[in-house]
Chain A
Amino acid sequence: MKKLFVLMALCFLFPSPASALDGNDLLLRIDRNLNPDSYEAYKKLINIEPSGKKKEFVLFTVKKEKDKVAALFVSPASEEGRSTLRLGENMWLYIPNVGKPIRITSLQSVVGGVFNNSDILRLDYTAEYDVKTVEEEGGNYLLHLKAKTKTVAYDQLKMWADRKALLPLRIECITEASMLVKTIYFKEVKDFGGGIVRPSVIETDSPLYKGYKSIMIFANIKERKLDDEVFTLTFMPNLDSLR
């Protein structure tokens, strides 16, 4: 009995590393390691079909705080000038020909392929998810995330994160009905300068799109101070002026 008491006391005094961490703090650190609070970056999206045929898009993107993101299509020529804006769960698409922003949803995809709008205009994970549990698995953390609201694109995420670098390695996106809809792989950690060291390639596949793959390559990630006015409908046609 005495031994059991000592063992219990030791457990409380020296908890395992995973349980010692507050899951949401851990997720916040992962968010900050992925990108600064306010930044600009370029992304190349490549959609690959089962036949090997590819379609590429290049976007300039800016983000501020937890829930403000905007992106501008730089190429190909057919998409140039299109821009998307996300403020929390509000999303808009501006098409130069149409000349005014229209509301879109996180579940749609402005580029086709496996990435949907919420992947392209990704907010901080802490903005959309709470950490339910943290486990240790194979020397890495496994975070179980649950969407804060019903409006988030994926109800649950399973995030495997590198224990040392605190960067995600793989994320499984799961519906409310526990169906896996997408797996995102984080690859090729790169030093972008300014203290930003993060995966430069994100790959995704989905059981719903068998044989299809989408890749996102990052370039020129830089911390940048941005006005709130940049993240408004009226500014959408002028996003190019930030480049």
Chain B
Amino acid sequence: MKSIVRILSIILFLPLCAVAQDDYSFDLAEIEKKPYAAGGYLEVTPRLFYTDPDAAFYTLNFYDRADKDWLDEYFLKLSMDGRYTKGLSEIYARANINTTESDVDSDTNIVLDEGYLSLKPASGFNISLGKKALRWGKGYAWNPVGFVERPKKPDDPELALEGYWVATLDYIKSFSGPLKTVAVTPVILPVYDHVNTDFGERDTVNYAGKLYLLLYDTDIDFMFLKGGSRPFRFGMDFSRNITPNFEIHGELARIDNSVHRVVRSDGTLAASTGDAESFLLGIRYLTRTDTTFILEYYRNETGFTGDEMDQFFGLVQDGIDLYRQSADETLLKRARAVTEGSYGKQNPMRDYLYLRVWQKEPFDIPYFIPSVTCIYNMEDKSFSLSPELFYTGITNLELRLRAGFISGPGNTEFGEKQNDFRLELRMRYYFDVLK
């Protein structure tokens, strides 16, 4: 705790030193490019949770622990990135050290998010080899066409993601006329015992590709993924400004022979196979008073139905009843086994609405952006509501205060979450090491 207070004071003190310097000079040393660069950020996030002891996910996490009404958690992250450029080649790496201290858990891990070699023989040609985060799709909260990336967190979609080990290239060609740009991005993604193990079935090589067009001022992408690790899938996305302040976007993905695994209320597993289509439609609108709205509808056919979620919640309820009667953990362990990456993932069901509204610099406070985000499960009518205050007025320091109200009746996605309320303050200080 002491060390966290110390780090906090460093974070708050450093930028005040930076504010003290002032003149309008433009020192050319500021723009000198060196062959190497390194920097990153230090992030401290204290969090406070108010738990819901009747919720299924609280039961799963706390049935063998002492009850807690309030939980506090301290998250510390050091993210470092660096690059070295020589001639046409560049090596880039980004790694994180993450430490979480909480009432129930402590964990430290080091993750290499990205680390790759790039060769750029021409403006329109770029080859990359290594671990790289490829981000496909136009959706803000969800990306059904994100075939070669890890799923993002819809309640924090701008977080950097860990990449996969890939070989990829970009080939770009520009034209005059209605078709202004064509870009092709083929990707090879191997999955073996120590490479991309969490992507899917092992001992196979997957091939993916994306074709980008800027046609009649509309961004259009077509993409596919083929290989043994995941079923064949293809899709497209688009984005276009109807007016300067009104943008529409969408994604459509089809997965052939998608395997849908569900758990029954007695704990047995069942699987079915079928084609699944998912899509997203969204708008982004900026008013004259600098209020921005993002509204998205997401239909995820690979998600669970209300009945399937009911069966899972029934399993947890039966599990806790059995545990209380005879200390038998069998059913709860079965429920836990299907939680991670499945029933316990963010937004595991089929129909969602996402709304984010933010106001730029209200009350004449520069660099201050209040916002509110709502994720609404259309099937079970549960939702999360997250008001947020974001301030970037001090050079290199970002402060974000965010609350989360999670609401819904029993047997609904948000109603069965572990917490009813969450409050967090994220303090992030950016720095350069080699400038």
* Nearest chain B residue, comparing its CB with the CB of A151: B244
A103 in contact with B366 (CB, 8 Å): no
Of the stretches B50-58, B70-78, B155-163, B346-354, the one at the interface is B155-163
Q: Is the CB of B174 within 8 A of A232?
A: yes
Contacts of B170 in A (CB 8 A): 234-235
* A99, A108, A228: the one within 8 Å of B135 (CB): A99
Which residues does chain A contribute within 8 Å of B159, judged by CB atoms?
Answer: 97
Contact of A228 among B160, B174, B212 (CB under 8 A): B174
Instruction: Pick from B138, B244, B396: contact of A76, CB below 8 A.
Output: B396
Q: Does A75 contact B (CB under 8 A)?
A: yes
How many interface residues does chain A have, given as a range?
35 or more
A29 at the interface (CB under 8 A from B): no
The answer to whether B219 and A238 touch across the interface, beta carbons within 8 angstroms, is no
Q: Is the CB of A232 within 8 A of B286?
A: no
Q: CB-nearest residue of chain A relative to B135?
A: A99
Q: Are A107 and B245 neighbours in the complex by a CB distance under 8 Å?
A: yes
Contacts of B245 in A (CB 8 A): 105, 107
Contact A234 B185 (CB under 8 A): yes
| A42-B26 contact given A74-B31, A76-B396, A107-B245, CB 8 Å threshold | yes
**Is there contact, CB below 8 Å, between A232 and B26?**
no
Q: What's the Cα separation between A150 and B241 when bound, in Å?
A: 13
**Does A106 sit at the interface, judged by CB under 8 A?**
yes
CB within 8 Å for A103 and B173 given contacts A87-B180, A234-B183: no
Write the chain A residue with the least CB distance to B367: A112
Q: Is the CB of A107 within 8 A of B286?
A: yes
A-B contact count (CB 8 A): 151
Q: Which of B181, B243, B392, B430 contacts A233 (CB 8 A)?
A: B181
A7 on the B face (CB < 8 A): no
Whole-angstrom CA separation of A76 from B432 in the bound complex: 9
In the complex, A151→B242 CA distance in Å? 10
A192 interfacial contact with B, CB 8 Å: no
CA distance A135 to B31 in the complex (A): 40
Query: A residues 154-194 with Cβ under 8 Å of B?
Result: none
Interface size grouping (class) on chain B: 35 or more
Contacting residue for A227 out of B41, B123, B137, B247, CB 8 A: B123
Contact B366 A112 (CB under 8 A): yes
Query: Which chain A residues border B217 with CB–CB below 8 Å?
Result: 88-90
A90 touches B24 (CB 8 A): no
With an 8 A cutoff between CB atoms, is A39 at the interface? Answer: no
Q: What's the minimum C-beta distance from A191 to chain B, rounded to whole angstroms?
A: 15
Please give, as numbers and ranges, the residues of chain B lying within 8 Å of A30 by CB-CB distance: none
In the complex, which residues of chain B have a beta carbon less than 8 angstroms from the beta carbon of A141? none
Tell me whether A201 and B24 are in contact in the complex, defined as CB-CB below 8 angstroms, given that A235-B172, A238-B126 are known contacts: yes
Contact with A along B105-134 (1 / 0, CB 8 A): 000000000000000101110100000011
Q: Is A34 an interface residue (CB 8 A)?
A: no
Q: Could you tell me the distance between the alpha carbons of A95 and B157 in the complex, rounded to whole angstroms? A: 12
Partner of B124, one of A58, A87, A103, A229: A229
Complex: A81 Cα to B311 Cα, angstroms: 47
104-152 of chain A: CB within 8 A of chain B:
105-109, 112-113, 150-151
Task: Give bound CA distance, A238 to B26, whole Å.
Answer: 24
The reply to whether A89 and B395 form a contact with Cβ atoms under 8 Å apart is no
Question: How near does chain A come to B391, taking the closest CB pair, in angstroms?
Answer: 11
Q: State which residues 229-243 of A face B: CB under 8 Å.
A: 229-235, 238, 240-241, 243
Q: Separation in Å of the A161 CB from the closest CB of chain B?
A: 24
Residue B275 CB within 8 A of the other chain: no
The residue of chain A having its C-beta at the shortest distance from the C-beta of B79 within the complex is: A97
Contact with A along B308-331 (1 / 0, CB 8 A): 000000000000000000000000
| A240 vs B432: C-alpha distance when bound (angstroms) | 16
Among A53, A103, A220, A241, the residue within 8 A (CB) of B247 is A103
CB-CB under 8 A from A229, the residues of chain B are 122-124, 172-174
Is B22 at the interface (CB under 8 A from chain A)? yes
Mask, B332-348, CB within 8 Å of A = 1, is 00000000000000000
Contacts of B431 in A (CB 8 A): 77
Within 49-105 of A, Cβ neighbours of B (below 8 Å) are at 49, 53-56, 58, 60, 74-78, 80, 87-90, 95-100, 102-103, 105
Q: How far is the CA of A46 from the CA of B22 in the complex (A)?
A: 10
Residue of B nearest to A117 (CB): B244
Q: B284 at interface (Cβ–Cβ under 8 A)?
A: yes
Inter-chain contact B395/A56, CB cutoff 8 Å: yes
Pair B120/A77 contact, Cβ less than 8 Å: no
Given contacts A53-B19, A97-B158, A233-B219, contact A77 B432 (CB under 8 A): yes
Are B430 and A78 interface neighbours, CB within 8 A?
Answer: yes
Give Cα A88–Cα B120 distance, bound, in whole angstroms.
27
Do the beta carbons of B24 and A46 come within 8 Å of each other? yes
Nearest residue in A to B397 (C-beta to C-beta)? A78
Q: What 0/1 pattern do residues 212 to 237 of B give for CB contact below 8 A with A?
A: 10100101000000000000000000
Q: Output the least CB separation between B170 and chain A (Å).
A: 5
Residue of A nearest to B241 (CB): A103
State whether B174 touches A49 (Cβ < 8 A).
Answer: no
Query: In the complex, are the beta carbons of B30 and A89 less than 8 A apart?
Result: no
Contact for B395 among A78, A88, A90, A109, CB less than 8 A: A78
Q: Which residue of B lies closest to A75 (CB)?
A: B30
A54 to B395, CA, bound (A): 9
Q: Please give, as numbers and ranges, the residues of chain A lying within 8 Å of B30 by CB-CB distance.
A: 44, 58, 74-75
Question: Closest approach, in angstroms, between the C-beta of B88 and any C-beta of chain A?
Answer: 9
Closest 3 CB pairs of A and B: A228-B174, A99-B135, A229-B124
B-to-A contact residues, CB < 8 Å: 19, 22, 24, 26, 28, 30-31, 33, 39, 41, 85, 90, 120, 122-124, 126, 133-138, 140, 157-161, 170, 172-174, 180-181, 183, 185, 212, 214, 217, 219, 239, 241, 243-245, 247, 249, 284, 286, 290, 292, 360-361, 366-367, 392-393, 395-398, 430-432, 435
21 A–B pairs (Cβ distance < 8 Å), ordered by A: A44-B26, A60-B31, A78-B395, A78-B396, A88-B217, A105-B241, A112-B360, A112-B361, A112-B392, A151-B244, A201-B24, A217-B24, A218-B26, A219-B28, A227-B124, A229-B173, A232-B172, A232-B174, A234-B183, A235-B170, A241-B120
